[in-house]
Structure formats: structure tokens, C-alpha cells
Structure 1
Amino acid sequence: MPRYVALTYTKDVDWTSPEYRAEMADYAEFGKAAAAVIRGGDALYPTSTATTVRVSGGKGGDVLTTDGPFAETKEALTGFYVLECADLDEAVKVASTIPAAWDGAVEVRPIIEF
């Protein structure tokens, strides 16, 4: 059965903060409802905790790191789910029930099986 990644884009906040407890309860409810197709996933800490890595000059070049994301946006990549669904239609149906879709966005992409 095909697998899809559902990338969640929401406000860039620390989801471990108590002020988001009610919203996290919605995610827990989604997790229970979609348990049959979820094969993995996690929330991500805010982009302020990110480190961007680049290699100058290509393979073997100098490793350059910078704090934070590449670009500032209203919504940030804040988590993901790996879904195993019959087809894209089913994956989209499941993604529409992820709380991020209600006030942010969920990007669904097929996973290449190597």
C-alpha cells in the first residue's frame, strides 16, 4: 500500500507550552481516529531552534551552519505524519482531519519506495 507524508504548516510556536494544551488535545484525538493509517510522525520545535546546514563548493566543501530557518514565513513546517493509504484520495481525506488543516495547511506528498 502506498505511503504519504502529511507535512503540517501552522503558526510557529512551541507546542509543548501549556497554552496550547487544548490544541494538542485535537491532535491526540486525530491520532486516535486515524491510528489505522498512521505509520509515524512527530511535532517539531519552533524554527528558532533550527540549524540550517549548507556545504559551500559542493561535495567535500566547507560546512556552513546558521541558526534558524532559511526564510521567515507566516506558517512554518511544524510536524509531519507518515500515512499508509490506498491512494491519494484517501490520504487527502485523512489529511483534511489533521488540525493543522483547519487554520494552517497540510501538504500531502507520496513517498518514494527505494
Structure 2
Amino acid sequence: MTQYMISIYEREADYATMTPEGWQSVVDAHSAFAKAVGDLGGTIVGGGVLQATTTATSIRSGEVTDGPFVEAKEAFGGFYIVEARDLDHAIEIAKLTPAQFGGVEIRPVLDVSTASGR
């Protein structure tokens, strides 16, 4: 199986005003997603939720600055690493990823132990 990263991009501001019940619905949606991945024959091998972009530190040409690198409507908020049979299977899984305030991007993870260039 190949590993794919599902990157979640959403509008952070929508989470700032979320009620505790709203937050619980997000948690429940991700729990349901994790179950669905297994039901589809995939495996979640890693992932994480990022803190707000206001906590970011960026480095460019050796210069360190507080805050995110770029301004955008949607911010990189979290990710899953999944194992899937092929790209079609990974897309089927990624379509189920909760991202009510944005969307997701899926990319194969490069196996550097077998890679010889790109």
C-alpha cells in the first residue's frame, strides 16, 4: 500500500466562534472518518491537528518572523497520513475527510528509501 497525506485547509475564523456543541460535532465527524477509513480497507498511520496560525513562526532566507508565512483565506489546520491501495482508493478516503470550513489536498508520500530523484 502507498501512503498519502491528506492536508486539511479551512477558515480558522469559523472555529473562533464555534460553540462547545459545534466543536463536539467536529470531533465526532473525525471519529466517524477514522472508522470509515478502516471500513474502506485503508489505514490511518498518523496525523495531527495544528494550533492556530497565530502561533506560527516562519523562516525565510534565514530570517525568523512570528506568524504564518502567507496570508490566505484558508489555513493548513491538520493532516492525516493514510495507507491506500492506489490513488483512486486514497481519493475515495479523502472525500470523506471532515473539512466543513474548507477542503482537503491529497498527495502521495515519497518513499525516500527507494527514491532516486523525482
The reply to whether TM is greater than 0.5 is: yes
Query: 1:11 Cα deviation (Å)?
Result: 1.7
**Identity in percent:** 40
Query: 1:43 Cα deviation (Å)?
Result: 0.9
Residue 51 of structure 2 aligns to a residue whose secondary structure is coil
Note the 1:83-94 alignment, pairs <5 A. Answer: 83-94=82-93
Query: 1:9 Cα deviation (Å)?
Result: 0.6
The match for 2:65 is: 66
How does the TM-score come out when normalised to structure 2? 0.79
Query: 1:21 Cα deviation (Å)?
Result: 2.0
2:62 counterpart of 1:53: no
Unaligned runs of 5+ in 1: 57-62
Unaligned runs of 5+ in 2: 113-118
RMSD: 1.8
How does the TM-score come out when normalised to structure 1? 0.81
Residue-pair matches, total: 104
The match for 1:60 is: none
Kindly report structure 1 stretches of 4+ aligned residues shifted beyond 2 Å. Answer: none
2:3 counterpart of 1:3: yes
Query: 1:103 Cα deviation (Å)?
Result: 4.0
Per-residue Cα deviation, 1:37-59 (whole angstroms, up to 9, x for no partner) = 111101111111111022x3xxx
